[in-house]
Chains A and B, each alone.
Chain A
């Protein structure tokens, strides 16, 4: 009897040893890449992007994966730098991903586009709003964020609606920021009522903008239009407050980050306007509300900006297309352009046009109140 028991255990153990790998081989996993700035200047954005996608993949796999196949997320760090992006793209391609989520900055995405296109990997960018990314006519490129010209239009419209006439435009020379500044500028040049009193760029990361502010002050604008990112916007707000200058300021969607108020302080940030797609907590879809809770439970925080959530939408778009036509990037791209309509993403309904741009109104005008909260106007 004892002997039998031992034999049984042995057989069971052997079965486990042999059985496990067999089982894993039977279900080949689908690899989806995430290219995000895990380190470097935009590390906080990139880390949130990765967290969102990993949580979604975890939920998807727990619910059975895509048609029974598990999804494996492969993360590569682009460091927020164009030259690293191309390297990261090559690594992901070698890893055998069918599609890639990312990345955040436009110039970084641009550096990786050709690599993915050659390797026939579907790319869904998340924060890259520069116009020319989709105008190149790459068949496998999509994005879940709106474009700068759309944002420029909304920005210019709101500046006028708020009653500002003399504008000082400041950008930071990145392709996103300069693109948005130029879009807005072009609209003002067509408009007789608007005058541009200042146009120049600052260096991102450079903490001291007091010299720039002193110079802008001499031009006495009604409003400063800053098209760069939140750390610089916060510094400008703070230094503007320090020099006791109460001019209005409005920015683009890259300033939609909860840290803006922390850095600038409530007093300095109060009254700041920006246009942006809504943040996760303000998204009204049921899926977003549920995901916001799940995210909070797992990571004990909220994603600090909307871009990480758009990475989640990009992941869902990829998953839906694989569900529909299988893991073939060309078929997926075709399907997304023709049959994929009004999918309920976190940030609202998602559809794509023929060049891979997202269709539909996404922007809202926000202002910061005296308690440092973001209020939709």
Chain B
């Protein structure tokens, strides 16, 4: 039983990270019907910027761990959303009226460019967040020992997702995003500034991805230039499991994927973990081709 609960927390923390990245895929897809393949690289950029701020400039040493990490979170989210905005301007906006395939190719190109840019800037070696950056101790809940950082990862993922949900459903901008997701042309006719909506989407999505990158750095302590690819693929899978274009779906899909992976590894076979994950994906797609939460188009986003 203890082992099961421990595996459960393993899975939830990993799932929280997947969910954060999946949100970026799903939001962009919802509004633009475009799969932003460069999103994984924005996530990696977040991890590296976090490394730069926390380790290279030794922010944690001069400000104390909690303040430093709080500040880093804000700065990383800001910088990555800036990068996302530039990406949108350079790689996607010129192709807004072009064939959809052209935008997909552009996305793949941006992904390769960013990945190699990261390698050239930070090098091919693994970068390590020191293990002493964050006061990591075990919290004991009824005999179950959980590292603090695992709780922090899951809590911040849930908090951000909750805030995003409020934003999408309660604010005027959120209403505009939902409108643009349903029908861009109609939204435009009703006076919604679709260009601005897209800009906002390309700020929120990358910011969440960047945050996930920083959390991965803090949680696992090791990053390299191609983590974007691995996490990108997994998060994309999560977005599809949940029903791409659906925000709640991305959250559910992410957490579910994390759990499937860990429990599959824990109880079936470690080596077959990824195969198992994709079998589940295929089964879900056979039963529900549009994902777990295929809401009616009207409710999308």
- Give me the interface of A with B, judged by CB distance under 8 Å: 39-41, 43-44, 46-47, 170, 173, 200-203, 205-208, 210-212, 214-215, 217-218, 231, 234-235, 238-239, 241-244, 259, 262-265, 267-268, 304
> Nearest Cβ distance between residue A46 and chain B, in whole angstroms?
8
Contact of A214 among B3, B130, B138, B274 (CB under 8 A): B3
CA distance A262 to B138 in the complex (A): 22
Q: In terms of DSSP, what is the predominant structure of the interface of chain A?
A: helix
Residues of A within 8 A of B271 (CB): 173, 200-203
Q: Which residues of B contact A217 (CB under 8 A)?
A: 3
Q: Contacts A208-B14, A259-B125 known; A41 to B226 CB distance under 8 Å?
A: yes
Min CB distance A242 to B, Å, is 5
For the complex, what is the distance from the CA of A212 to the CA of B263, rounded to whole Å?
Answer: 10
Kindly state the interface size class of chain B when it binds its partner: 35 or more
> What are 10 A-B contacts with C-beta separation under 8 Å?
A39-B119, A200-B271, A201-B271, A203-B271, A208-B14, A215-B265, A215-B270, A234-B128, A259-B128, A267-B131
Of B7, B116, B269, the contact of A39 (CB 8 Å cutoff)? B116
Contact indicator A212/B131 (Cβ below 8 Å): no
B171 in contact (CB, < 8 A): no
Given contact pairs A235-B222, A268-B131, A211 touches B270 in the complex (Cβ within 8 A): yes
Given contact pairs A259-B125, A268-B131, A212 touches B136 in the complex (Cβ within 8 A): no
CA–CA, A99 to B225, complex, Å? 32
* A211-B230 CB under 8 A given contacts A44-B126, A200-B271, A203-B273: no
Q: How far is the CA of A39 from the CA of B126 in the complex (A)?
A: 13
Please give me the residue from chain A that is nearest to B124 by CB atom: A43
Contact of B230 among A44, A205, A243 (CB under 8 A): A205
> Which residues 75-120 of B have a CB within 8 angstroms of A?
116, 119
Assembled-state Cα–Cα distance A265/B123 (Å): 20
Given A46-B124, A211-B10; 9 other pairs, CB 8 A cutoff: A40-B226, A44-B123, A203-B273, A215-B7, A215-B266, A234-B126, A244-B145, A259-B125, A259-B126
Tell me if A231 and B126 are in contact (CB < 8 A): yes
Contact B274 A265, beta carbon cutoff 8 Å: no
Q: Which residues of B contact A268 (CB under 8 A)?
A: 131
Other-chain contact of A207, B6, B222, B267 (Cβ < 8 Å): B222
Cβ-based interface call for B64 (8 A): no
**At the interface, yes or no: B132 with Cβ under 8 Å from chain A?**
yes
Inter-subunit contact A214/B6 (CB<8 Å): yes
Q: For the complex, what is the distance from the CA of A205 to the CA of B126, rounded to whole Å?
A: 11
Tell me whether A238 and B221 are in contact (CB under 8 A).
Answer: yes
- Nearest CB in chain A: distance from B98 CB, A: 30
B257-300, CB under 8 A of A: which get 1 and which 0? 00001110111011101100000000000000000000000000
Contacts A173-B271, A208-B14, A242-B136 given: A218-B222 contact, CB under 8 Å? Answer: no
- Which residues of the other chain, A, contact B220 by a CB distance below 8 angstroms? 207-208, 235, 238-239
Name which of A40, A170, A203 has the most chain B CB atoms within 10 A of its CB: A203
Chain B residues packing against A (C-beta within 8 Å): 3, 6-7, 10-11, 14, 116, 119, 123-126, 128, 130-132, 136, 138, 145, 147, 149, 216, 220-222, 224-227, 230, 261-263, 265-267, 269-271, 273-274
Known contacts: A39-B116, A235-B222, A238-B221. The answer to whether A211 contacts B147 by CB under 8 A is: no
- In the bound assembly, the distance between CA atoms of A201 and B266 in angstroms comes to 12
A241: chain B residues at CB < 8 Å are: 131
Q: Which of B10, B14, B131, B261 contacts A264 (CB 8 A)?
A: B131
Q: Nearest chain A CB to B112's CB is how many angstroms away?
A: 11
B270 touches A44 (CB 8 A): no
Tell me the nearest residue of chain B to A214, going by C-beta.
B6
A134 to B183, CA, bound (A): 63
A217–B124 Cα distance when bound, in Å, is 33
The answer to whether B273 and A44 touch across the interface, beta carbons within 8 angstroms, is no
Given contacts A211-B262, A244-B138, contact A218 B125 (CB under 8 A): no
Q: B132's contact among A43, A262, A265, by CB below 8 Å, is which?
A: A265
**Residue of A207, A211, A234, A265 ringed by the most chain B CB atoms within 10 A:** A211
Q: Is the CB of A211 within 8 A of B266?
A: yes
Bound state CA distance, A276 and B128, in angstroms? 23
Contact A214 B124, beta carbon cutoff 8 Å: no
In the A-B complex, list the 4 residue pairs whose CB atoms are closest, starting with the nearest.
A265-B131, A43-B124, A201-B271, A211-B265
**Which among B128, B136, B216, B262 has the greatest number of chain A C-beta atoms within 10 A?**
B128
- In the complex, chain B residues whose CB is within 8 Å of the CB of A44: 123-126
Closest Cβ neighbor of B125 among chain A residues: A44
Nearest chain B residue, comparing its CB with the CB of A207? B220
The interface residues of chain B lying within 8 Å CB-to-CB of A238 are: 131, 220-222
What is the CB-to-nearest-CB distance from A232 to chain B, in angstroms, rounded to a whole number? 10
Complex: A201 Cα to B126 Cα, angstroms: 22
Residue of A nearest to B138 (CB): A244
Docked complex Cα distance between A239 and B273 (Å): 18
Closest Cβ of chain B to A372, distance in Å, is 11
Chain B positions within 8 Å of A206 at CB level: 230, 273-274
A263 vs B138: C-alpha distance when bound (angstroms): 20
Chain B min CB distance to A246 (Å): 13
Closest chain-B Cβ to A142's Cβ sits at a distance in Å of: 27
Determine how close the nearest CB of chain B comes to the CB of A219; give it in whole angstroms.
Answer: 11
Q: Which residues of the other chain, A, contact B132 by a CB distance below 8 angstroms?
A: 265
Interface centre among B6, B14, B216, B267 (most CB of A within 10 A): B6
Which residue of chain A is the closest to B258 with respect to CB atoms? A208
B10 near A304: Cβ-Cβ < 8 Å? no
Q: Closest CB-CB distance, B191 to chain A, in whole Å? A: 46
Q: Which of A40, A201, A242, A264 has a CB less than 8 Å from the CB of B270?
A: A201
